Amino acid sequence: MIKKITVFFLGIMLLIPFHGLAASDSKVSIDMHYLVVSPVEDGSTNMMNMVNYTNTAAEEYKGDGKSEAVLKVTLPEGAKDLNFLDNQIAFKEVDKGFITTTPIPANQTQVLPYSYRMAKGEKINFKSDYPVQMMQILVPEGRGSIVVKGAVATSQGSFKFDDENYFGWSIEGIKANQAFTLEYNKDVQPAANETKKSETTSESNSSVTHTAPAFHNPGHLRIWAQSPLHRFNPHVFMIILLAIVIAGISYYIYFRRKARLEEERLGADKEENAFKLLMTKQKAIMDKIIELEESFGDGKLSEAEYHAKLEAYKQHLVQVKIKLRNFVE
């Protein structure tokens, strides 16, 4: 039974796509891209980014070897006022974006925090240089909304993060060099109870709505992205962990039950042996009484000896019968 349970859960895990567990073909992938979009007093749009770049190789990543660049970051056309916020990572501004020159250790994540501005009303055209597992787009509550074209954006509704309310959207499974557009309007607010997913393709502007999954707290996502387990899909990892826990509990219950049944069987064997021993004693006493009567009848015993031995046998027999009665009752 336990083996069947274990095989059942393993079978479920095998049905789950393994793209979340396997490393990307590229040595570098983006586990999480946080983007906070907010208006500025001069009418422009501030784009605050925090991006987790993970080296999936077992050796230090120093770039593709064609230039000094380790990471290449392409900014949307029209981006200005780039501000790189980590002085521990060397970077250089280049045409269409910037590059970093600090190597990424093997199987480690490098976080790039940076911001830039976009002109008012200008469409923001994104094109990631690396595959992105998930992108979280956050807009402070009351400061507008976004529309994503060319990718599937899931509205996560309103939530509180770092003592400030935000409205969130997420995009999953962005491919390397995949282009999509983000339109920000600070004057249009999302519905307070919006929990729908809007999908708009680049070929047509039709919208399809689906029920959105519950929002993942960005703080939790950041902790996961920086943990040693970040290369695993968190949902698949939880299913595996749950299967292990259930299998462990099942094995514990199974062996406890098996031990209890073994104890009961041993107890039953002891009682059966005790019962058989009493029956043997009873038969032996009855044989002794018969033998005593034959000896007395042949004149081998005096009457006094006969009665004394007979009384002793009877007392012993009574004790044995009392014990046998306890088994029956």
> 134 versus 267: which is more confidently predicted?
134
- pLDDT for residue 160 is more than 70: yes
pLDDT band at 211 (very low <50, low <70, confident <90, very high): very low
Return phi, psi of residue 186, to 5°.
-75, -15
Report the distance separating Cα 128 and Cα 111, nearest Å.
15
User: Do 249 and 166 share a structural domain?
Assistant: no
**Cβ atoms of residues 145 and 139 within 8 Å:** yes
- The mean pLDDT value for 159-188 works out to 86
Considering its fold, how many domains does the chain have in total?
2
Query: Whole-model pTM?
Result: 0.54
Residue 96 lies in a domain: yes
CA distance 221 to 65: 32
Across residues 182-206, what is the average pLDDT? 61
| The last residue of a domain, from among 192, 209, 231 | 231
CA distance 27 to 57: 6
Quick: pLDDT tens for 68-123: 999 999 999 999 999 998 889 999 999 989 999 999 999 888 999 999 999 988 88
Q: How does DSSP assign 9-57, residue by residue?
A: HHHHHHHS-GGGTSPPSSSEEEEEEEEEEEE-TTS-EEEEEEEEEEE-S
Instruction: Write the DSSP symbol of residue 59.
Output: S
pLDDT recorded at residue 118: 93
pLDDT tens track for 52-72: 999 988 899 998 888 899 999
Q: What is the pLDDT of residues 222-234, one digit of tens each?
A: 666 666 666 666 7
Q: Are 216 and 282 in a shared domain?
A: no
**pLDDT above 70: residue 130:** yes
Q: Quote the percentage of the chain above a pLDDT of 90.
A: 26
Same domain, 180 and 110: yes
| pLDDT tens track for 281-324 | 878 888 888 887 888 788 887 888 888 888 887 888 788 778 77
Q: Which domain holds residue 96?
A: 22-231
Whether residue 24 is predicted with pLDDT greater than 60 in this model: the reply is no
Helix %, strand %, coil % of the chain (to 5): 35, 35, 30
For residue 94, the model assigns a pLDDT of 92
Looking at the structure, tell me whether residues 112 and 259 fall in a common domain. no
Q: Are residues 168 and 274 in the same domain?
A: no
The reported pLDDT for the residue numbered 115 is 93
CA distance 280 to 226: 76
Mean pLDDT (the chain, rounded): 78
User: Which of the pair, 272 or 280, is modelled with greater confidence?
Assistant: 280
Q: Provide the pLDDT for residue 199.
A: 40
- Among 206, 231, 256, where does a domain finish? 231
* pLDDT score at 197: 42
For residues 199 and 322, state if they share a domain: no
Q: How many residues does the chain have?
A: 329
Any idea which residue has 């974006």 for tokens? Answer: 97
What is the pLDDT at residue 174? 92
